[in-house]
Amino acid sequence: MEEMKVSCALTNRFISELLKEKIDSLGEEIKYLSYWQNADIVIVDDEFLLNNLPEIQKLIEEEKILVLLDYELSEDDIAVFLKLFPIKGVIYKDMDPKLLKKLFYAVKAGEVWIKRSIFHYILKDDLAVRNFSMKELKIIHFLLKGYTNKEIAKELGLTEQSIKYYINHLLKKVKCENRTQLIIKFLKFQKLIQALINQGELVECLNA
């Protein structure tokens, strides 16, 4: 049987060690590598995905198989990551080693190993996030943090009237009646919006 090489690109070293021990117990045909550059399958977590976009791009270009580690993520979070990145499987907390082994073989064979309930979340998500500018992203970010129009205006160097105009435009864009509905709409994208602002990215990819 062909040897399968698995590695981790995680922000938490303790969890990486735990996964290494579990993978080492799966048999000689599955080998754990310390560096993902030579691996077939790379396990990633949410923090790594959001804060290391250049590295993720390298993984994608090198056609590595990405598997997401779900360590207390919500189904909404997982659905967002599946939209943004070519993730082929999701490893769940305390996953049985036998099931983990099946997952590795499945994704290596080109299959997708994801709960049906996650696909349900993706299909039911009707949030139309199209062509958001960086300024709009920042306004959404501050709204999610509970800032007033005056506080947002100060942060962005704009007038309160300008902020009011932008918020009214956003309300129409995502078909919300008030800012409370707007905040609820974007709550599940909070971490993603923050990371995209940090990276200077746009969110056009949310519609992919």
Average pLDDT over residues 54-62: 87
Least confident window among 47-61, 123-137, 193-207: 193-207
Q: Where are the domains of the chain?
A: 4-124, 134-207
Q: What is the pLDDT of residue 7?
A: 94
Q: Would you say residue 204 has pLDDT above 90?
A: no
SS3 of 188, please? Answer: helix
- Of 164, 169, 160, 162, nearest to 131 by C-alpha is 169
Q: What is the pLDDT of residue 167?
A: 95
- Domain 134-207 fold is Arc Repressor Mutant, subunit A (1.10.10)
Q: Which of 2.60.40.180, 3.40.50.2300, 3.30.1330.10, 3.40.47.10 would CATH assign to domain 4-124?
A: 3.40.50.2300
- Of 36, 92, 31, 93, nearest to 66 by C-alpha is 36
Q: Residue 201 and residue 208: Cα distance in Å, rounded?
A: 15
Going by the DSSP 8-state scheme, the letter that residue 145 receives in this structure is: T
> Full-prediction pTM beyond 0.85?
no
Q: Are 53 and 201 in contact (CB under 8 A)?
A: yes
Here the tokens at position 95 are: 């996953």
